[in-house]
Structure 1
Amino acid sequence: MQQKTAFEENDLSLLSVKDHVGTLTLNRPKQYNALSRPMIASVSTILDEINEDKNIHVVVLAANGPGFCAGHDLKEICNNRNEDYLEALFNECSQMMLKILKLDQPVIAKVHSIATAAGCQLVATCDLAVASEKARFATPGVNIGLFCSTPMVALSRNVSRKNAMEMLLTGDIFSSEHASNIGLINKVVKEDDLDKAVEELALKIASKSPLTLAMGKRAFYKQLESGISDAYEYAGAVMCQNMLTNDADEGIKAFIEKRQPEWTGT
């Protein structure tokens, strides 16, 4: 189904914007949204556009068709088995994942079905994830002689080492309930409730100060890279900077005066 978007559409990914929520939809349904190089380029372009759009406070990453994302396009890889192509492919995919992390806006994965390999990596890369009870997750590269090394980066930063290694070493398919239990996703809902659950979560976050969301997201990922002492020093500086913003001043006054805050993003 074609969507009206705030930006130019293309065949491989779509963007719609409503109530400060941008929905980026993967759109290779017949290929289970496999990440070909053109697909990666399409998603990366839209991520750049989202990052510049101050009207978008939250992003939902969704997908059309029977699968969320089947990972890399193996047929494309088989037709281009040379070092230059493969280096470019994995570099471009990694840069796309980093763009999700570096977006000012929080990103919610809306997982309705199977997410494997780089598709599972996408889910792990998003800040939050809500999945249907029918969704399934796997890093199955080991089954075809290809360890999921790049998905491993995001996976190992979201779940415990032993749970990550179990997924990577066995290649098994895991249920959405298991994915929730190990921390890969936030919530499992019934298939018919997925749209509503994601919308409610997105709107709740979109109601917050966009400046505060951006500052908080950047700080969250940066402090993870530091030792605990450096993390506290950095977080304290961010807290001070945040406290001096107009939105923090407005938020505190609104709380004291028992009214809804009016954010300016400054």
Structure 2
Amino acid sequence: MIFMNCNFLIQKIFRQPLSKMYSSASNITSVHFEEGIKKITLNDFKTRNSLSIAMMQNLVEHITQDENNQELRVIVLAAEGSIFSAGHNLKELTPEVGRSQHEEVFKLASQLMYSIIDSPVPVIAQVDGLAAAAGCQLVAQCDIAICSNISKFSTPGVNFGLFCSTPGIPLARKAHRTTALKMLLTGEAISAAEAKSSGLVTTVCPSEDLEKEVKRTCEAIKLKSRSVVELGKKFYYRQVDMDIKKAYELGGGQMVENLSIADGKEGVRSFVEKRKPRWSH
């Protein structure tokens, strides 16, 4: 009873359900979930926020947790320090650890990328520094990437004998082919401006404005119906690499399906009635 009363008091103080706000932290990540926005921050300073096995397991868990909670509207991936992520932890990829661990690392990396694709809400990368190798892959796989003007992006694996084949997968689908190939073949970094012009990132702004720009984008997403955004995101990834005629064939059916769900009906009705929509999500 005392525990229930404490929960009641906390909810009364903050005037919102407990599920709308929480913070948690491990030794390599921290999470803050408030007002529909879940911010996952990488903070493994010792390994330059490397995508170690432990880090990738953490990220998959945090991205997939709350996915069925309708209060979750957007996920932000950020990092402490001047390095967003230096990529895989090469200490976990030495010849001595064996092929089975190598396979585990890249299987888990794919699982991490799938968790972003399959997330029912948009996932935004917030970058204020260097994103290299699998760290660049993580940025490229996010639905939206917002970075500071001091940020840099690279796929340097070719420099030390490990071609960035998996980072090249989302890179080739986001950036211009000539930019992707230059990055992959030379290992050289590109600037934030180059990343923006090539399509790798969505928005570039000064470091001091980064939090504000990410927040603005999150708030724009929160104005929309969660169910409509989820439906649209799933179809986007389904059709993006299809033959264009097949995509149109399926797209028409998708639009009809969208019109049949509650928020699809509400959106059209509110437009006709010239009022703001009341989403059920």
Q: TM-score, normalised by structure 1?
A: 0.94
Task: Give the 3-state SS of the residue equivalent to 1:225 in structure 2.
Answer: coil
Report the alpha carbon displacement of residue 96 of structure 1 after superposing the two structures with TM.
0.7
* Alignment partners' CA distance in 2, 1:252 and 1:17: 31
Gap change, CA 1:174 and 1:156, over 3 Å in 2: same
Match of 2:29 among 2, 9, 13: 13
Report the alpha carbon displacement of residue 7 of structure 1 after superposing the two structures with TM.
6.8
* Alignment partners' CA distance in 2, 1:152 and 1:61: 20
Match of 2:83 in 1: 67
Task: Give the 3-state SS of the residue equivalent to 2:66 in structure 1.
Answer: helix
Please tell me whether residue 169 in structure 1 is matched to residue 182 in structure 2.
Answer: no
Report the alpha carbon displacement of residue 79 of structure 1 after superposing the two structures with TM.
7.7
Q: Indicate the percent of aligned positions where both proteins have the same amino acid.
A: 38
* Alignment partners' CA distance in 2, 1:220 and 1:7: 31
Report the alpha carbon displacement of residue 19 of structure 1 after superposing the two structures with TM.
2.0
Amino acid at match of 1:50: D
Mean Cα deviation higher: 18-27 or 171-180: 18-27
Choose between structure 1 and 2 for higher RCO, CA contacts under 8 A separated by at least 6 residues: 1
Match of 2:161 among 135, 138, 145: 145
Please tell me whether residue 58 in structure 1 is matched to residue 43 in structure 2.
Answer: no
Contact 2:63 2:75 in 1 (8 A): no
Amino acid at match of 2:83: G
Task: Give the 3-state SS of the residue equivalent to 2:30 in structure 1.
Answer: strand
Q: Which runs of 4+ in 1 moved over 4 A?
A: none
Unaligned runs of 5+ in 1: none
Amino acid at match of 2:158: V
Report the alpha carbon displacement of residue 220 of structure 1 after superposing the two structures with TM.
0.3
Give the total of aligned pairs. Answer: 262
Structure 2 counterparts to residues 1-266 of structure 1, below 5 A: 6=22, 9-78=25-94, 80-265=96-281
- After superposition, the C-alpha distances for 1:115-154 in whole angstroms (9 at most, x for unaligned) are 0000000010001111000111000000111100110111
* Alignment partners' CA distance in 2, 1:198 and 1:161: 27
Gap change, CA 1:187 and 1:80, over 3 Å in 2: farther
Report the alpha carbon displacement of residue 80 of structure 1 after superposing the two structures with TM.
4.9
Q: CA RMSD in A?
A: 1.6
Unaligned runs of 5+ in 2: 1-19
Contact 1:124 1:155 in 2 (8 A): yes
Which has more radius of gyration?
Answer: 2
Contact 2:23 2:33 in 1 (8 A): no
Q: TM-score, normalised by structure 2?
A: 0.89
Contact 1:29 1:66 in 2 (8 A): no
Report the alpha carbon displacement of residue 15 of structure 1 after superposing the two structures with TM.
1.9
* Alignment partners' CA distance in 2, 1:80 and 1:148: 21
* Alignment partners' CA distance in 1, 2:208 and 2:230: 31
Report the alpha carbon displacement of residue 172 of structure 1 after superposing the two structures with TM.
0.3
